[in-house]
């Protein structure tokens, strides 16, 4: 694919026009803009030109004489400060409360009763078997819940397998 590299004079003029406008603006209007700004801010001219003098207080640093060679150890210990323990006026010092772990025994799945499912429809075709349980369309191998799945579909009911063992659901 060949790109068109020719630029017409109209396209060149459009590309260069911002530069031309900028140079015209600088040459004609810049001096007039400076005069307008000076006239508007003439009252503030004295404030801007005045000098501001700051006097800094004299500060002296006094160095301690080093008592021995191991003075750097003292400075390290001074860096670590102990935070005082909060004292309550009425109760004295109160340690933080101890948190105990609660061991709640988990209920065994087999002790819970199995959920109740209602079969709405069973369809058995040439190669496909479908069942509608609690308004869910399922085939063999699909999970009804986290713990149970459809094991077998027959004309009179559905065989479920899972946490409660194998059980039959019959059409009513």
Question: Which of the four pLDDT bands, split at 50, 70 and 90, describes residue 151?
Answer: very high
Residue written as token pair 């406008």: 21
Token reading at 93 = 């010092």
For 85-117, how does the pLDDT look when each residue is reduced to its tens digit (9 = 90+)? 555 555 556 666 677 777 777 766 667 788 888
Q: Residue 142 in 3-state DSSP? A: coil
Angle at 54 between CA 49 and CA 58, to 5 degrees: 160
For 4-61, how does the pLDDT look when each residue is reduced to its tens digit (9 = 90+)? 667 788 888 888 898 888 888 777 777 777 777 777 777 666 666 655 565 655 555 5
> 10 Å Cβ neighbour count for 103?
6
Closest CA to 165 of 119, 114, 117, 94: 114
**Domain limits, the chain:** 7-50, 119-170
């Amino acid at each position: 694919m060949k790109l068109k590299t020719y630029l017409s004079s109209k396209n060149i003029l459009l590309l260069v026009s911002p530069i031309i406008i900028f140079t015209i603006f600088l040459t004609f209007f810049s001096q007039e803009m400076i005069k307008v700004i000076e006239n508007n801010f003439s009252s503030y001219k004295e404030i801007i030109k005045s000098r501001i003098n700051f006097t800094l207080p004299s500060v002296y640093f006094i160095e301690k004489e080093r008592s021995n060679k191991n003075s750097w150890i003292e400075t390290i210990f001074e860096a670590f400060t102990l935070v005082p323990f909060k004292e309550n006026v009425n109760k004295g010092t109160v340690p933080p409360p101890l948190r105990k772990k609660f061991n709640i025994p988990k209920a065994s799945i087999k002790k819970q009763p199995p959920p109740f499912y209602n079969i709405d429809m069973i369809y058995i075709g040439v190669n496909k078997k479908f069942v509608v349980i609690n308004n869910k369309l399922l085939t063999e191998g699909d999970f009804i819940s986290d713990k149970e799945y459809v094991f077998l579909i027959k004309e009179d009911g559905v065989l479920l397998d899972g946490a409660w063992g194998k059980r039959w659901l019959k059409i009513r």
